[in-house]
Amino acid sequence: MAVQIILASQSPRRKELLERVGFSVKVVPANIDEIRIDDESVEQFAKRMARSKCLAVVRRMQATLYQVDPEGGSGTPSVSARRMAETRWVVAADTIVSLGEELLGKPKDTAEAADMLGRLSGTRHRVITGFCVHDLRKDKEGVQAVSTDVLFKRLTPTEIEKYVAVGESMDKAGAYAIQGVGAYLVDSISGSYTNVVGLPMCQVIEMMEEMGARDVLPY
């Protein structure tokens, strides 16, 4: 099957969500600096990061396809570059856990993971995913941020210690994975579940449909 979506993310969870609904996906990670600008809201930051990731991969694809050779002519794209160019859609996302306007990123170590979980214990926080869909054929993109409210149960120190020991915390914003063992930490959510996992599938597919992706949509 031809690749339908280039995913500008290393997240296996996002890839799995897209594949679960029927898309064929190729991962092309984006390496960008994730630094929040002063006075930038959480939503603005998430959208800016998603768009920056998306455009970084788009530019890399375009540069690979249209390289100029040393003699001054236009280079011949490789087979892999040509195949990537046949793919029309690039999707990128950035997921943030927010306590008010404070961001909880990926913990540096187990001590920071435990501290984050302690702060989230018994409280309501927001998970915001900014996502960007880019149409390579028309060279335009759509950007949106989706927010889900998550309420944690009140955690005991022993529960926090045992959960950190599971090993899920280290590559997750907020130090938990709702789709894994961390499901038991969550009392309730209000909003998109897949948004908390890493990609709000309803809104992503709606945007793709609005942008003209009916030929690759899985329905």
Task: Determine which one of 94, 139, 149, 215 is catalytic.
Answer: 94
Number of domains in the chain: 1
pLDDT tens digits, one per residue of 140-184: 999 999 999 999 999 999 999 999 999 999 989 999 999 999 999
What pLDDT does 66 receive? 53
pLDDT tens digits, one per residue of 54-86: 999 999 988 876 544 444 444 555 444 455 557
Structural contact between residues 121 and 152, judged by C-beta atoms closer than 8 angstroms: yes
Tokens of residue 66, six digits: 């249209």
What pLDDT does 101 receive? 77
Residue 139 domain-assigned (yes or no): yes
**For residue 140, what are the domain limits?**
5-210
Helix axes 79-86, 42-65, angle to 10 degrees: 130
CA 200 – CA 169 distance, rounded (Å): 21
Percent of the chain at pLDDT exceeding 90? 76
Provide the CATH number for the domain around residue 23.
3.90.950.10
Residue 217 domain-assigned (yes or no): no
Residue 185 domain-assigned (yes or no): yes
Catalytic-residue membership of 187? no
What pLDDT does 79 receive? 44
pLDDT tens digits, one per residue of 202-213: 999 999 999 999
Residue 215 domain-assigned (yes or no): no
Mean residue pLDDT across the chain: 90
Residue 136 domain-assigned (yes or no): yes
Alpha-carbon separation of residue 33 from 56, 144, 149, 156 (angstroms): 11, 20, 27, 35
Residue 178 domain-assigned (yes or no): yes
Residue 52 domain-assigned (yes or no): yes
What pLDDT does 4 receive? 93
Q: Is the pLDDT of residue 94 over 90?
A: yes
Percent of the chain at pLDDT exceeding 70? 90
Q: Is the pLDDT of residue 103 over 60?
A: yes
Residue 219 domain-assigned (yes or no): no
What pLDDT does 12 receive? 94
